[in-house]
Chain A
Amino acid sequence: MYSPRLPNYLVYMLQSCEYQAMPYLKWLLRVRDFSTVMHRRQLDNTKRAKLLLLALRIGILSEIAIGIVLIILNFALKLPGLWAFGLAIIIAYPLIWPLLVVIPLELARVFIVQPKNQHEIEQAQKIYQSHPAVKIAVAGSYGKTSMKEVLKTVLSEGKKVQATQANHNVAIEHAKLAKKLTGQEEILIIEYGEGAPGDVAKFTNITHPTHGVITGLAPAHLDKYKTVDAAGEDIFSLASYLKNKNVYVNGQSELAAKFLKPSFVRYSNQGVGDWKVENVKLSVNSTSFQLVKDKQILNLKSELLGAHQVGVLSLAAMLAMEFGLTKAQIEQGIAKTKPFEHRMQPYQLSGAWIIDDTYNGNIDGIKAGTALLRQLSAKRKIYVSPGLVDQGKETARVHQEMGQVIAQGQPDMVVLMANSVTEFIKQGLVQAGYKGELIIESDPLAFYQGLEHFVASGDLVLMQNDWPDNYA
């Protein structure tokens, strides 16, 4: 608590919580030793972080100085009791500043950031409303960024396409995209990052989509939504906005099934609309298949991994057809699709194949990953995960299911990062009769950094999920 690095720890915690007061305060309540909070990464010295660091240091030093002055005054002016007050002020600084630091942030948010954002969002609303392009909104509990990137890559082969950047998917990011638009774009792809009830409805009112893709429904952000159904209602409000037309839904998402309407087009690894998938071939660094309708055949090969990507690629191909791209353009576009960083991204290490899916954060992604693990052949299969964050009341159930799903992947070794959900995953593994080796790793960072020592030629390692410091 009295470490001179306390300001660094506090700013790191704020930064990890994206300067959100509530997650930061919740984390603060859990911290027993500040020196352990900065474990997974270091403080990113952004302008905001530097400013906060400076303010904290000045504040703490000022408080200590005032305490010292009071103690000196006690003896110089013979004012009894002042020394105790001065000492109390000095001792109290580690209790005061972790809380005090939130106040300027919240004030800035309410009086500066939010009004500025609101203004930009209002401007964006007008831009989107008048823009003539096809506007495809991508919503869902998972797989949104991958879907958006696939659509962008494929459709760009024949159309002028703009899309939201990376996984930047909230209203202010939609506004940033609007600012960049020239009016010449033919297709806009906008990712919707829902986080609380009403978010998707709000996004539709800003971006005025003409088409909607719903990538699936899974327990996510349950701290705000409370139930999966509540999350589903919010996500499927996109379909309501589109009057249930031009809505494309992942047919493999079990939880999304209850929200389906007859007019929705379903996509899956069996096909999309009238197009059927045939001759699927999976490997550790590519996926290939044929998309067949009557006498038309598209031969598609992508660097994306897993059978679950077949549906995504099929939908991109079908939409490309509808928007007038040629067969050659579509095949070329699909060939250019690559895994996004940390999303089923394969690479080789010490002769082994590693599939990095550490950005996955839901049970459906785990099902997709473990299905691929089961299908691929390897001398030794290793599954690595810390578990899923943000599962709310569903935590125990989801992680028991996760254990069962992992067992179905038939790994020779399971490595779990020790945390609050490990026991639930273990229970799931036991329930499914897992017979392989189980390792509980107490130092995840050491494991990830030393991965090269764990693997050898012929090994296949699937690494899923991330457990950032603020969930410790």
Chain B
Amino acid sequence: MNKIVVAVIFGSRSTEHDVSIITALSSIIKPLELTNKYQVIPIYISKDGVWYSDPRLSDVSLFTSGQIDSLMTKLKPLALQFSDGLNIIKPGLKPKTIKIDVVFPATHGTHGEDGELMGLLEMANVPYVGCDMPSSVLAMDKALAKIITTYHGILTSDFEWFYAQDFKDRPQTILKQLARLNYPLFVKPVHLGSSIAISRVKDSMELKNAIEVAAHYDNKIIVEQAVNNLIEVTVPIIGNDKLTPALVEQPLLKGEDFFDFDTKYMGGGGKKGKSAKGAQGYSKLPAEIPQDLYQKSEQTALAVYRCLGCSGIARVDLLIDTKTKKVYFNEVNPLPGGLYAHNWRQAGKSSVQIVSQLIELAEDKFQQKQKLATSFKTNYLKQY
């Protein structure tokens, strides 16, 4: 029986390039290989945007040891061909063409998770795992996501957004626009994930600095009002139409802290004395919150997932005011780091089950799309 050819695309021109490598190699490629059902093709996009494919790219030690740099000097960049789906062409004396059956995007942040890669895959008309282009664009634009969810009646903390260039050109106007918000505030680059360049500010002086930091990474910035009596939770969800939430997870934070990059990926769980590495040790799983808030969190997360049009997998971050018992939508991550496998495992789904289900969901979504008409007969051209 021929195996389904799955291309796992990772890396890319993104501040989350390294996180993407670990997601791809540890949480996607390895479990896919273990199913024995798929032929897995690793496709690595370098930090300068060159595409490569080679079986050795599945080995995490290649990246941790830095040997990837010397390998890239030996490998020839990959060529793509859109012909009856997606084909990759491995260069060489006799170029080898491989038809890809399903793509598993594993890129985080810009030039990948933000919808760019999904647009490419839509053009290629190939099934791919996870959120489609429109939902990825919405999810990865924190301001747009908040505008859409607010329209659908989902509670979010009060916010303002603006372009970085506008702040450079007219800082006073922007600061005036922000003055209606109550401190403390959070300043975030709109498109970045993994909590990169996020600042919590207590006054206008800190605000200016934080905006300058965020502007270094993004052209669009969002400033949000902090939620009081805060408990931050996150809910991974899988599915297209029929949705399944994993466990509501509560990152372990000090009162003044937030869910930053170090906490997420650099064993910041040490903050609570747990010797944890990565995502598994810095959170309460399931969240230790009252049952009504737990259910409300699940419902809010599912509502956000639906109204942004997510599919496959995503993770919804929420903020809870424990006094008012209000649950606020914070942001959506359309490709959770490591697929949030630690949470799914705790919820009873193994990594092998997750990747297998995601491939099935990708194929289902693709089949549904193929049923849609893409041509419309008109006499438009005849008039010329």
Contact = CB atoms under 8 A, between A and B. Distances in A.
Contact of A454 (B34, B346, B347, B348): B34
Contact of A459 (B31, B350, B351): B350
A379 interface: yes
Given A453-B351, A453-B352, A456-B353, A446 B346 contact: no
A456 B340 CA distance: 13
Interface string A40-57: 000000000000000000
Interface string B317-360: 00000000000000000000000000011111111110000000
Contact of B350 (A439, A446, A456): A456
A450 B34 CA distance: 7
Contacts of B36: 439, 441-442
Interface in B209-259: none
B34 A456 contact: no
Contact of B349 (A442, A447, A450, A456): A456
A454 B350 contact: yes
B111 interface: no
Given A441-B36, A442-B36, A453 B30 contact: yes
Contacts of A380: 348
Interface residues of A, number: 18
Contacts of B352: 453-454
A378 B349 CA distance: 13
Interface in B199-217: none
A452 B31 CA distance: 9
A350 interface: yes
A183 interface: no
A351 B353 CA distance: 15
A324 interface: no
Interface residues of B, number: 15
Interface in A320-338: none
A446 B30 CA distance: 9
B34 A351 contact: no
A200 interface: no
Contacts of B54: none
Nearest to B349: A456
B154 to A, nearest CB: 30
B288 interface: no
Contact of A446 (B34, B344, B348, B353): B34
Contacts of A452: 351
A103 to B, nearest CB: 41
A242 to B, nearest CB: 52
B34 A458 contact: no
Contact of B344 (A441, A442, A454, A456): A456
Nearest to A442: B36
B69 interface: no
Nearest to A350: B345
B217 to A, nearest CB: 34
Given A441-B36, A442-B36, A456-B353, A450 B30 contact: yes
A455 interface: yes
User: Of A380, A439, A456, which is in contact with the most chain B CB atoms at under 10 Å from its CB?
Assistant: A456
A456 B345 contact: yes
A456 B30 contact: no
A457 B345 CA distance: 6
Contacts of A447: 34
Contacts of B346: 351, 456-457
Interface in B27-56: 30-31, 33-34, 36
A456 B347 contact: yes
Nearest to B32: A453
A456 B348 contact: yes
Contacts of A379: 348
A453 B352 CA distance: 6
Q: Which 5 pairs of residues, A with B, have the shortest CB-CB distance?
A: A453-B351, A456-B350, A453-B31, A456-B345, A350-B345
Interface of B: 30-31, 33-34, 36, 344-353
29 contacts: A350-B350, A351-B345, A351-B346, A379-B348, A380-B348, A442-B36, A446-B33, A446-B34, A447-B34, A450-B30, A450-B33, A450-B34, A453-B31, A453-B34, A453-B352, A454-B351, A454-B352, A455-B345, A455-B350, A456-B344, A456-B347, A456-B348, A456-B349, A456-B350, A456-B353, A457-B348, A458-B348, A459-B348, A459-B350
